[in-house]
Amino acid sequence: MSEKTITIGGESRELELERDGAKFRSGEHVIEIVSMRRHIAELVVDGRPHSVPYVVQGTQVSFAFGGEIYAADVADKGARTRARHRDHSMSAPMPGVVTKILAKPGDVVAKGAPLLILEAMKMEHTIVAPRDGTIAEVNCGEGELVQPGIELVTMNEER
C-alpha cells in the first residue's frame, strides 16, 4: 500500500493505493491500466472501459475523464511539491489551442471569472481568474498553440 497526496483544483486529498500489477485499488474503486500510448491511457475503471487522454509534466498529470479536464499534482505523502503557477499569473495546464479570449488588459475581474478558452484533448477548458484583480496582460492570441507552463494571462491584485 502506498500513500499519495493528490491535488485537483487546489484541493488536496490523501489517497491510499494498493497495487497489483497493472491494477490499482483505492477504497471501493478498481482501476486497471490496459495500455498507454501516444498520451492515451486505455483503462478499465470499476469494470467499465475508458480511453483517457493525458499529459504528464513533472508531478502534474492533466487528463480528461467523464467530460471534465483535470490537472492533478501527485506526490508521495510528505513530499514537497513545487508550485504549479506563479501567484500573479496563469499558465497553460496542458498543450492546447486558444479558441477564445474573453478578457483584455485593464479589465477588472472577480475570482472565477472566465478569461479564455483553451481547446485541449478535443475538449474545451476554461481558464478562470484565481482571485479578484485587474488583467495586466494577455500573452496569447486566438488560434495560438500554447504549451504547458506558458503564461497566458497576467493579473495585478486589487487593493
pLDDT one-digit tens code per residue, 105-136: 999 998 888 899 888 877 788 888 888 899 99
Structure letter (DSSP) for residue 9: T
User: Is the pTM of the predicted complex or chain greater than 0.85?
Assistant: no
Sketch out the chain's domains with CATH numbers.
2-76 (3.30.700.30), 89-157 (2.40.50.100)
SS3 71: strand
Is there a contact between 77 and 13 (Cβ–Cβ < 8 Å)?
A: no
Structure letter (DSSP) for residue 95: S
**C-alpha distance from residue 123 to each of 7, 74, 137, 151 (Å):** 21, 23, 25, 20
Q: Which three cell numbers stand for residue 20?
A: 497489483
pLDDT one-digit tens code per residue, 54-95: 777 666 777 887 777 777 766 554 444 443 434 444 777 778
Report the pLDDT value the prediction gives residue 74, as an integer from 0 to 100.
63
CA-based nearest residue to 58, from 24, 18, 94: 94
